Structure 1
Amino acid sequence: MEKDQYETWAELFCIHARSNRVMHHIVPSTGQEPPAVTDAKHEQWSTLDAIVLQWIYSTISTDLLSTILEPNSTALEAWKCLEDIFQDNQNARAVTLEQEFSNTRMEDFPNVSAYCQRLKMLSDQLRNVGSPVNNHRLVLQLISGLPEAYRSVATLIRQSNPLPAFYQACSMLTLEEAGMAKMANTRSHAAMHTTQPRPTEDTSQRGYRRPNNRSRSREIQGHGGGRGNRSAPQTGAPNVPSPWSTPPWQQQQQYSAWQPWGWAMPPCLYPTSQWTRPAGPPKQPGILG
């Protein structure tokens, strides 16, 4: 009773009844009145009517079933009772449905399909209460309730002469909605790629440059590590005589007068015996002669 689905249920039930040739059990017609009790066809008619009544009871909600359930009821009585529940006071219902139909906006629905279905359901209910809505008015109400994002497609539909059918207009809006969703998805992916954080730079190595051999040699010389500064005293070092405190030419004269390599001559093994210094190797001419 609260979902306003009576019109849909009634239409589907009539289709099912016509397909089984029992439509006269819910809509009496001329020549197909219920047979008399004494008639031989009464038993067959009662069996079919009970089947139709069972279809009605099994396809409605529990609250409606408890409202219309009566002993020894027929399918026609149950059908009329449901019709009175949903279609009585047609004028008052028509006023309420007209207000709801005119105030329907797409902002109140999750998508275009739900919006179009609601308008179609309201138009069907207005037709059932004696206030039918033609296609022209339905399409105009459809585009008048659209938000600003659908202004271009609404203008296209409005300027069409004649106006397209309601289903065609709904299809155009659905395609427009799909295109807008795809465009928004593409923009979100592009924004995500542009806003990804860059890898964090290691600030501990910032400004560090590996020195080359020339700068390294300069640093060594500046700190007293070069060849020309080997005699420079180190700060805080003990006063120990350095082997490089004497120039190389004096070291050669000090250790050996004839050794070109500056090696000291070992002492004599027998100091009491007469010992003569062996002759050194012949000097070889240098590269420049």
Structure 2
Amino acid sequence: MSSLGYTSASSDSDDDVFEQFGIPVATQTLPTPQLQALRIRDHILVTLDCEKENYGIWSRQFLTALSKFGLRDHIDGSPAQGTSDWALNDFAIVSWYDATVTASTLAIVEPRNATAISLWRAIRSVFRDNRDTRAIYLCDEFHGFNQGDLSVVEYTSKMKEMADMLGDLASRVRDRDLVHNVLRGLNEQVQHAVPHVTRV
């Protein structure tokens, strides 16, 4: 669908997204008045952004919040219930997208008369399309990335961020490979430390 794609796993269905992340089933739905007053940013700390490629962590936090408050049935493919509480809860979930997804990302995916499940599927589709292509480009960037003028902390944080993104793209980077890649890209000023870092 889009070159902004993220992970694509045809085996993932709406029925097993929670099991995929090991998220337990909530025993009871939060009462509607409490749900309407909920500050979702206290529970979903990441803002989903196409440019940041942070779908993996955002989706885990979003699914955890849905499960925590007994709202899994709004996106797992269960039939919509005709009660006013169910409809109000669905509107509340839609507002969670507005609070945790950048406007530019929502502009790409938001359908008319959006429901919790239609938005979930649209966002997931955008980030999962072209997984292999995204992984190839990111892998090239990861293996060609050098410290340059970055501080050691900035450089290693960026390396770890790319490794985590590759993991979300089903191209996991082993810890040993991450360390080797970090050492390879260090600038000349800190190359002298490599023998000390690699000494067993």
TM-score, normalised to structure 1's length?
0.47
| Secondary structure, aligned partner of 1:107 | coil
Q: What is the alpha-carbon distance in structure 2 between the residues aligned to residue 45 and residue 97 of structure 1?
A: 41
Say how many residue pairs are matched. 151
Deviation at 1:79, TM superposition (A): 1.6
Select which of 53, 60, 65 maps to 1:16. Answer: 65
Deviation at 1:35, TM superposition (A): 4.7
Q: What is the alpha-carbon distance in structure 1 between the residues aligned to residue 71 and residue 126 of structure 2?
A: 23
Deviation at 1:36, TM superposition (A): 4.6
Query: What CA RMSD, in Å, does the superposition of the two structures yield over aligned residues?
Result: 2.3
| Secondary structure, aligned partner of 1:138 | helix
Select which of 55, 75, 99 maps to 2:96. Answer: 55
1:113 aligns with 2:149: no
Q: What is the alpha-carbon distance in structure 2 between the residues aligned to residue 83 and residue 129 of structure 1?
A: 13
Alignment partner, residue 135 of structure 1 = 175
Select which of 134, 158, 165 maps to 1:93. Answer: 134
Alignment partner, residue 52 of structure 2 = 3
Alignment partner, residue 118 of structure 2 = 77
Q: Which amino acid aligns with 1:52?
A: I
1:124 aligns with 2:169: no
Q: What is the alpha-carbon distance in structure 2 between the residues aligned to residue 99 and residue 70 of structure 1?
A: 34
Q: What is the alpha-carbon distance in structure 2 between the residues aligned to residue 36 and residue 13 of structure 1?
A: 21
| CA separation of 1:3 and 1:51: change in aligned 2, threshold 3 A | same
Deviation per residue, 1:152-177 (Å, 9 max, x gap): 432223233xxxxxxxxxxxxxxxxx
Moved more, 151-160 or 86-95: 151-160
1:156 aligns with 2:196: yes
Q: What is the alpha-carbon distance in structure 1 between the residues aligned to residue 73 and residue 193 of structure 2?
A: 47
Gaps of 5+ in 2: 1-49
Deviation per residue, 1:62-100 (Å, 9 max, x gap): 222222222332212212211222221111111101100
Regions of 4+ moved over 6 Å? none
Q: What is the alpha-carbon distance in structure 1 between the residues aligned to residue 90 and residue 174 of structure 2?
A: 37
| Secondary structure, aligned partner of 1:106 | coil
Deviation at 1:50, TM superposition (A): 1.7
Gaps of 5+ in 1: 161-289
Counterpart contact for 1:127–1:133, Cα < 8 Å:
yes
| Secondary structure, aligned partner of 2:79 | coil
Q: Which amino acid aligns with 2:199?
A: Q
Select which of 34, 40, 44 maps to 2:79. Answer: 34
Counterpart contact for 2:110–2:122, Cα < 8 Å:
no
TM-score, normalised to structure 2's length?
0.65
Deviation at 1:9, TM superposition (A): 2.9
| CA separation of 1:127 and 1:63: change in aligned 2, threshold 3 A | same
Deviation per residue, 1:99-143 (Å, 9 max, x gap): 00101111153x122212211221122122221112111111111
Identical aligned residues as a percent = 25
Deviation per residue, 1:226-282 (Å, 9 max, x gap): xxxxxxxxxxxxxxxxxxxxxxxxxxxxxxxxxxxxxxxxxxxxxxxxxxxxxxxxx
